[in-house]
Structures are given as C-alpha cells and as structure tokens.
Structure 1
C-alpha cells in the first residue's frame, strides 16, 4: 500500500507551526511533552488506571476523555483504536513522529511507547475503542483479522475517506449502544463491530511519518524501553536489579546527569521518580494478577525484605499491599 503525506492545510498562516508542517513536510518532532498547558501533573498517563479495572471492551468519546497531553511508556493490557474526527496533534509512536488531524484512525499496540501533544486548545472530536488482550483470546475470529492484515504492528495510522470516517464513526456509535444495553451478547456483538471497523479501515491509506524523532527524544525513548524491559520480565527467577538513574545511564552509555536532565525535560519528572512509579505499578500488577506472597513480590521488585517493600508501597499508594490486593480498584487507591 502506498503512503501519502498529510493533506495541505487550508489557511496559509506563517505563524502556525502545524500549517507549516503540513505545507512543507518539515520535521517538527515532539521535544516537549508538556509545552502545552496541562490539567494533569507532569508524567501522568491518563490511561494507566484502566490497567486495573475489570472490563473487556469499552468505547469512550474523545471529547469526554479530555485527551490531555501525555507520554505513555508503560506496558498496557489493552489495544486501542482511536478515530479522529476533528482537532489536531502530534503523535509519537516508537521512533517516528506523525502530524494527526481529522479523518485519521490509529491502532495502538499495548507495548507501544506513545506520546501525544495537542496543537489546538480545544479538545478534538472522535471516539476511542479499547479492548483487553484476553478479549482477543476469547474471540479468535477477531484475532485472525488483526493478524492477517497486521493491524497494530504494520498498520498503525491510516488516512480515511469521508465516507469511511462516517461509517466507522457510526459503527463505534452502535458499539456504545451495545455496551449500554449490557447482557451476555453485548461483547459478542461489539467484537463483530470491531471486525467491520478493521475491514472498512483497509480502504484507507497508510499515514506517512513527518520525520524521525530527535536525538534527545530517542534517549528518552530508549530509557523507557529499557525500564519497561527490566520490569516487564521480572519474576521469581529474574528480580528487578536496576533501580537508579546511574544504572540505566550506564546501560545506555550516557552520563547520568545528562540523561536525567533529558527525561525531566520531556516528562517533568526525574528518573528516580519515574523508576519508583514504575515499581509501584508493577507491584500493583503482581498483587492483582498473581498469588505470590508479599515476601516473593518484594524480592521481585528488588527489596531485601518484605517490611521495607510494604512501607514503600504504602508511602506511594496510601494503603498496604494486602489492603490493595483485597480492593485494587477503589477510587481512593487510584486517585
């Protein structure tokens, strides 16, 4: 399938960076995740709490979600289909940048390191569809379509025609109605709608990146990739060993102060905070998804003894590991 660059902008405003990008094709990579005012604290990932909620598939209006600027480096347990019907922004996926506007559909893999920055003050229109990894296991026909046409791997961003945009938006609207109706067959019907969305998306063209990421952002990406690898593979036989900025910088052949400065510039937080946050998130996942003892989990996270781990967890979450394990999605624990 041939690629095509983003369409030319209508207004020719020399002061509009987004317009210049679409006219000239100049690379305008995301170098500051939070250079647009944000309602969320620096480093916040809006979708992170969904990891702990008990759902299989859901549809959300983009306007209602707020669609704030974010950097999402952590492993997620859901796939995300994002239809843009209005608004603009920069999307960084892996090591490529894309200027995104209306009539675009994105397929975000759970393991993808992604970054989004709005380029308009108002929240754009569109719809998100998110479904858990286990949902694919429950619906092999949906998984077959995704694997056959390489959605979420090779097909990540597609430009749609007006007709396809209307049709996909209608399918997502029907999915919301199915979700509201509930019942045993609601999720079965919704996966059929997802298949129709995938087939209709095939009529689109692949979205060409606007340029490669900067060297600065590449270092940030490599840090998060290494952090995710270190925590993602953690288990009883392979506990987490890297817990400091110095250790990560050494693995990346960078000066620790330099790497810390870059990461703080892009996320608003130092490496030490990001590492601690990631250890907390992995601790939550292990508490919810395994039956391992607190002593075993503390060793996996890298603590010498269980009391120190419990104190660390309570300091950041507000409850003990045992309390969290009994009620992991209470709002007070996730706020």
Structure 2
C-alpha cells in the first residue's frame, strides 16, 4: 500500500466526508482542547490543553479516535504512527489518504481534520509533547528544526522495518512514562529523537494534493476564526463575532458560507464562533492574571456581567469558579 494524495476537482463537493445519516459513520465533530459534553458515539473531546503534563504516549485504539476537526489552538506537537486502518488526513490545505505504515507529524498551529475510512479505528500510537517540553530540550528541537519535521516533513510512508522499530520505541516510551521515575521525561525526549531519526530511513515523502473548492472556503473560515481569536489581547480585542462579519471578510454570501460549514462540519457558524469564544475565555482565565473586566473586553463584551452570564450559560460555572479550579471532578470522567 502507498501513501496517496487525495485530489478532488473544484466544486466537486466532498461527498466522502459529509456527515452521514442514521446507520452510517458518525459525522465529523469539533475537537477542542477543553472539557465538553458530546453525545455517545461521537469523538471524545481531548482535555489536553488544561492538563498538567509535558509528554505522553497513547494507544490509538484505546483513544477511540473518530472523525474530527481541530481548528483551534493546541499547545502540543503530535506524532501519530499508523500500524493498521485507513483514513483521510487534511493538514492545512492539503489532503492525504493514510493507511498502515505511515507516520504523521502534526504542528500545534495547523488546522487539521481526520476521517476514518472504515468504521474501525485501526491500530497505532500517539506521542504528544507540549511546546514548553520542546523548549526544555534544545537537542530535540535541533533535530526537529534540522530535518524540518512538522513543517516540510508532515506525513511519511515507512518501511516495514522502520514501522516495527518506531512502534517498539513508542511502546518503550509508554513504559517509561508509567514507571514514575523522576528522569522519565528526560529519557522520553531521547526516544523521540530516535523516532525522528528512524522515520528518515527508507521513507517515502510525497507532494500533497489540493483540498476541494468547497472545503477551501471552510478552511478559510476557520483560519480567520483562529487568527481573530488566538491573538486576542488587551490591545487587540476580538472584533469579528457574527457569521455575517466573517462572510463579509471572506467575500462570500453569509447563507452560502453557513451552508458550506454546516454541510461539512455539521454545525452552523454561530455555534462554532460561540464555542471558540468560550475556549478563548477559558485560556485567558487560566493563562493570565487579567481582571474579568479586561477579559470581557478582549472577548468582545461591553461589560463584565454580560460576559459572566455568557460564560456560565455555556460552561456551567462562573469565570471566577473556573479560574480557581479549571480541572473540576466533572472533567475527569
């Protein structure tokens, strides 16, 4: 089997990835790095953004990975080894058909989407490490920068021997993490370097195929949404808050853009904007010591009471309560 590029003609739609009807695979869901409630059978939401960890290894089968789209900020790099199964990975504006013996290097800043081809998840291992972990290990950062992993080298096709070796290294990393040894994280960064070097041996690195014309508009919406929210601060508050304003920025009819987003993602633009504002509010509450009034203004509210009412409506607790305890017992399930 080979690493393929997925090419669809302009205006061909994206029928293979549309949310399916009853009896078919679950639709694409939004993966945010924060607690959330999703109906049974949809993608489990990662809470990685709020957890106190530097590096971890997870079995792909046990993670329950389903179809997902992750448009918002992540503060971790992700290496994914596929040992079985098939799926389509969209990274930025490029599509790949992924099968066994493939390794993916996903940058925190990329807008990514994953779709399982069959309904089975397939086998493999994830390795994720935070940005701060990379800063703490300059030798690891040097290897990543020198060989352009996560930038030019994003998806590599492996030989059978390299697949076995990398799987063994990741398994050893997982055992190291479970050991509780105070030097475990030091050892794990050495394993990551070995995984990177092994990935270069006898691999196939192919150019990518373009995304569909329709999904390009969807991608541009998420790119603008991320740009508007991720860099928000005291000097640059969020100013674009409605579907009409986003459509105007993208030179599209609001109804047309909303229809495309709802077709491919399964949710209207208003819901996605609301979710993103909630997530950015959580990040600011945790990462800064700014007052609620300041955060209210950054998120785009005229006054703090309206912001607090908005936050409690969608999170279930007040901003102050969340700031004191972002990982509540309810989030641990």
Q: Which range moves more in the overlay, 323-332 or 313-322?
A: 323-332
Say yes or no: does 1:239 pair with 2:251: no
Contact 2:6 2:95 in 1 (8 A): no
1:332: how far off?
2.3
> Which of 26, 49, 65 is matched with 2:47 structurally?
49
1:205: how far off?
1.7
Q: What is residue 206 of structure 1 aligned with on the other side?
A: 205
Q: What is residue 79 of structure 1 aligned with on the other side?
A: 77
Contact 1:75 1:110 in 2 (8 A): yes
Contact 2:80 2:103 in 1 (8 A): yes
Q: What is residue 306 of structure 1 aligned with on the other side?
A: 304
Q: What is residue 251 of structure 1 aligned with on the other side?
A: 249
> Which of 34, 37, 45 is matched with 2:25 structurally?
37
Question: Any residues of structure 2 matched to 1:80-229 within 5 Å, and which?
Answer: 80-203=78-201, 204-209=203-208, 211-229=209-227
TM-score, reference length from structure 2: 0.90
CA gap of 1:118–1:74, structure 2 versus 1, over 3 A, is: same
Question: Any residues of structure 2 matched to 1:284-323 within 5 Å, and which?
Answer: 284-323=282-321
Contact 1:98 1:208 in 2 (8 A): no
Q: Could you report, residue by residue, the CA deviation over 1:261-298 in whole angstroms, capped at 9, with x for unpaired residues?
A: 10111111100000000000000000111111111101
Provide the rounded CA distance (Å) in 1 between the counterparts of 2:279 and 2:6.
39
CA gap of 1:148–1:25, structure 2 versus 1, over 3 A, is: closer
Contact 2:80 2:127 in 1 (8 A): yes
Q: What is residue 11 of structure 1 aligned with on the other side?
A: none
CA gap of 1:33–1:130, structure 2 versus 1, over 3 A, is: farther
Q: Which range moves more in the overlay, 111-120 or 40-49?
A: 40-49
Q: What is residue 17 of structure 1 aligned with on the other side?
A: none
1:166: how far off?
0.3
CA gap of 1:301–1:26, structure 2 versus 1, over 3 A, is: closer
Give SS of 2:248's match. helix
Provide the rounded CA distance (Å) in 1 between the counterparts of 2:28 and 2:316.
18
Give SS of 1:308's match. helix
TM-score, reference length from structure 1: 0.89
1:208: how far off?
3.8
Say yes or no: does 1:7 pair with 2:27: no
Q: Could you report, residue by residue, the CA deviation over 1:174-226 in whole angstroms, capped at 9, with x for unpaired residues?
A: 000000001220000000000000000111121443x3111110000000000
CA gap of 1:235–1:26, structure 2 versus 1, over 3 A, is: closer
1:121: how far off?
1.7
Give SS of 1:163's match. helix
1:331: how far off?
4.5
1:333: how far off?
5.1
Give SS of 1:206's match. coil
CA gap of 1:42–1:199, structure 2 versus 1, over 3 A, is: closer
Give SS of 2:195's match. helix
Provide the rounded CA distance (Å) in 1 between the counterparts of 2:142 and 2:298.
35
